[in-house]
Structure 1
Amino acid sequence: MAYTDQLLSTPTAASAVLFGIVVMGICIVLRLSHGRRAMQQPPGRAPLAHPGSEKAGGPCVSQEIYKTPTPPPYPDWSVVETKPLPYRAFRYGPKYQMTMGLRTIHPHQWIELDNQFPKYHADKAARIEERGDKCVKTAPEAFDAAIELLEELTDYLPARYPSLYKRTHEGIDNLWSGESFNIVERPLKEDPMAICARLVQDDLAVLLEQPDGQYRLLAGSILLAGFWRLSDKFGMTLSDVHTSGDVPHFREKLETGMNKFFRRMKCDTFHARNNYFFQVDDCLGWSSSMGDEDAQEVVRGTAQKDKAIEHHWFRSERQTLRRLPKTRAVVFTIRTYLVPVTEMAREPYVPGRLASAVRSWDELLSNYKGKEEYGAVLLDYLDEKHKEQVDNGLDLEKEDEVRSYPW
């Protein structure tokens, strides 16, 4: 990703003075104008101005902040009929490319819900009840950012999914579950990140920039992560979150670019990325392959090796990143999908491409993804299914005509 820095030539001393006087006058007018707008904000909402905020993603010179556009209703969305989108975010080998893998999405596509919402809602509610602040937590300095995220969801969801959510004067109603959430009362009935968690199928993480330029994880609801614990990562910098999890090649290939990207993120540009893993159990909240969730140290290797293919599950994530306009926090959404490998391998082109992708992992990535537990059984099965598809007339030359990444 390329960035361009524009340098301004230095004005003469006289023109600099004149320029400064003009800018001061404009700033006074704008501050007075902002003061009037701030007094007009509805109760419970933060004032519009925030130092360093942006309008349309650029530097804020007018003291107005970016307003997330109201999305249109998701076409024909139904809590019963709308199936999860089939993300298949893997590419052919022979070489695995370690990149951030970001793509730009429209703000309307921020949150995706489907007919698995009831299961995710129930699983999250149970884990909030059972595990509390091990999975859901907001640092005091991140409270405003968590509230802003809650406000953004409260505005977005009823517009995008009107058959599921209704906007109210106090907050938002879930028409399917009968829940009503008051987001303006203080104190709130529970952590704002817990309320956010109940509204969507995604896990959520909020990172705030620190005086040293580092971003720290200071609010989150990580309930269905499968492999990592919020209690381990809370308060860490973005780099430490990755290095503590032994993300392969992070230091040499990702760290510098990721930190630059975070600092330059604009409010009006939303991003998404996908990744994938495998596990040999169907546990959405916490995979048994990682051992006891409450163990002092989480390590792989506790799962039975070479289990039958019926126990292999393809676990993938759709992550989005955006900057909140008022608090300037960066929000991760992490939607997890869990699909049986035997089901996915029936899709045209998938078994051959997936087998090629798995074979492209180097040793570090293979260890990180736990390939030793399932690799032999998985690859034998995918090879068999790929051969069946080719024998039945699958035209490998036409794959690019029927699919595009990350589908």
Structure 2
Amino acid sequence: MPNHMSHVEKPSFMWHLRSWEEMKATSRFTLANYMNVILLIVFLYVAIRQARSKQQAAAKTGHDRRYIKAPDFPPVEEQPGFDWKTTEPLQSRPFKPKYHLTMALENLEPSELLVIDKTYEDRIAYRRRIMAEHGKHVINVHDDQRIRPAVVELYQFLLGTYLPLRFPTLFKLHETEYEQGKTFMLENLATKALFPAKATAQISTEWLLETLGRTVDEDFLFLLPEEDSEDPKYVLEAYVTVCPSGFDPAEKIGKRLAAIHKPVPGYSAKLEGSMDRFFSKVEVGKYVKRVNWSITTNTELYAAAAGTTHAHEGDMVEELDHIDVDKTFVRSERQTLHRLPKSKALVFAFHTYLYPIKQIKEEGGGEELAAAIDGLKLGNVPQMHFYKRGAVWGEAVKKYLRS
């Protein structure tokens, strides 16, 4: 009986020992599993972080490829929701009761260098036609060796950086592969035109100017100081000017500011000195603007011929008895000036607007404009009334505005 009991208890004791060992083994197995799970979680976490980091890097690379970096220029404020098709043209009414010939400059935000509105497609089509018809009177280069770096600099900034950032719904930059390597092309989403965003040695300066003229509704004049002069004056070295007003740009190329403005009454006495000083001191990164106005009795933006928008001393003019309201406009230029950071050339640009005289009257500005026409004779240069051809249209326009 005792032997039997001991025999029975022994297996029971041994069973408890095996259970404990199994429990320890199970614990080790469970702990190992826990460690594996933890390692797996850590691995997955790291993998996800790396994947997200790569995605963000790829997205940033893709984002950056929307434009070419231009660290020498001021940053461009983006307009992701810009709708050029519904954007109205700027409305400028710079009428004063007395006209004083001054520079009248205002500071300009660099991002606002160019303006685009719903007339863009029609105006670009007009610009293409005028450039094809008038050649050197619209696009010209004086000293190519000196001015080419400036034209290239502005061209690459506008097509590679400014336009795809400022107007992303109208211009898109594409990175492409050619035999010579990677390059960038700017697509005009309105006209479907495609132009290189970077200039190569094979592309002429005239072609770059033409492309600027076919891409933005803006006229550009490039000026550099004279060489080998103790008191250098700025000279017009290149231009794309589709909307000249009363002057032929081809007659101005290679000339100083004073010679360019010689026909303007009062320029030498009132503006020449201050203009020369200001042009010589314009700093990189400083952008300025001004607005002018006159009256025109035809609908053409290209007005380079004599007698179109200006009259000069000795010209024979005939006063109008009445005006064709549908062909009479306030012609206004939004003018800008800035210095390029590398070439140090000055870029004078202007965007021309035609405001129907009927619109001015209907919006209630008739008397203000009529007073401003009288004011052309009352300022510091009374001859400005004749220069702007007020002797031709002045009385007829005032009569209409006050009727």
Q: TM-score range by the shorter chain?
A: 0.7 to 0.9
Q: How does 1:16-95 map to 2 (within 5 A)?
A: 66-73=72-79, 76-91=81-96, 93=97, 95=98
Determine the structure 1 residue equivalent to 2:295: 278
Match of 1:115 among 115, 118, 121: 118
Superimposed CA distance per residue, residues 286-345 of structure 1 (whole angstroms, 9 cap, x where no aligned partner): 2777369xxxx9996678833424132110000000000000000011100012101121
d(CA) in 2 for partners of 1:83, 1:299: 41
Counterpart in 2 of 1:205? 221
Q: In structure 2, do the counterparts of structure 1 residues 111 and 291 end up closer, same or farther at CA, with 3 Å as the change threshold?
A: closer
Cα-to-partner distance string for 1:16-46 (whole Å, 9 max, x where unaligned)? xxxxxxxxxxxxxxxxxxxxxxxxxxxxx9x
Aligned residue type for 1:167: L
Following TM superposition, by how much is the alpha carbon of 1:260 offset from its aligned partner in structure 2, in angstroms? 0.5
CA positional deviation for 1:72: 1.6
The residue aligned with 2:335 is 319
- Distance in 2 between the 1:79 and 1:299 partners? 45
User: Is 1:229 matched with 2:212?
Assistant: no
What is the deviation of 1:105?
A: 1.1
Q: Report how far residue 133 of structure 1 moved.
A: 2.0
CA separation of 1:179 and 1:257: change in aligned 2, threshold 3 A: same
C-alpha contact (below 8 Å) 2:152/2:199 kept by paired residues: no
Residues 291 and 250 of structure 1, relative CA distance in 2, 3 Å threshold: closer
Identity %: 26
| Cα distance, 1:285 vs structure 2 | 1.5
| 1:181 alignment partner AA | F
Do 2:287 and 2:338's aligned partners in 1 also have CA atoms closer than 8 Å? yes
Alignment partners' CA distance in 2, 1:106 and 1:291: 33
Partner of 1:345 in structure 2?
361
**Mind listing any 5+ residue stretches in structure 2 that lack a counterpart?**
1-67, 176-183
Q: In structure 1, what residue type is equivalent to 2:193?
A: E
> Is the Cα–Cα contact under 8 Å of residues 317 and 392 in structure 2 kept in the other structure?
no
Residue 133 of structure 2 is aligned to residue 130 of structure 1: yes
Unaligned stretches of 5+ residues in structure 1 = 1-44, 49-64, 385-407
- C-alpha distance 86-291 of structure 1, shift in aligned 2 (>3 A): closer
Contact 2:319–2:391 under 8 Å retained in 1:
no
Do residues 97 (structure 1) and 97 (structure 2) align? no
Structure 1 residues 329 and 299, CA gap change in structure 2 (3 angstroms): farther
- The CA RMSD measured in Å over matched residues stands at 2.6
Q: What TM-score, normalized by structure 2, do the two folds share?
A: 0.72
Give the distance between the partners of 1:333 and 1:379, measured in 2 at CA: 31
C-alpha deviations, 1:120-152, integer Å up to 9, x for none? 111111111112222101231211111111012
Which protein is bigger by CA-based radius of gyration?
2
Q: Say if 1:309 and 1:341, in contact at 8 Å, map to a contact too.
A: no
Residue among 259, 281, 304 paired with 2:276: 259
Counterpart residue type for residue 262 of structure 1:
F
Contact 2:247–2:306, Cα closer than 8 Å, also in 1: no
- 1:358 paired to 2:373: yes
Distance 1:151 1:308, change over 3 A: same
2:401 equivalent in structure 1? 382
Please state whether the residue corresponding to 1:208 is helix, strand or coil: strand
Question: Which of 172, 194, 203 matches 1:180?
Answer: 194
Partner of 2:170: 164
The one of 235, 246, 256 aligned to 1:216: 235
Q: Match of 1:234, SS?
A: coil
Q: Is the 8 A contact 1:135 1:221 kept in 2?
A: yes
Distance 1:247 1:202 in 2: 23
Q: CA deviation at 1:118?
A: 1.1
C-alpha contact (below 8 Å) 1:171/1:184 kept by paired residues:
no
- Could you give the per-residue CA deviations for residues 373-406 of structure 1, whole angstroms, max 9, x where no partner exists? 111111112223xxxxxxxxxxxxxxxxxxxxxx
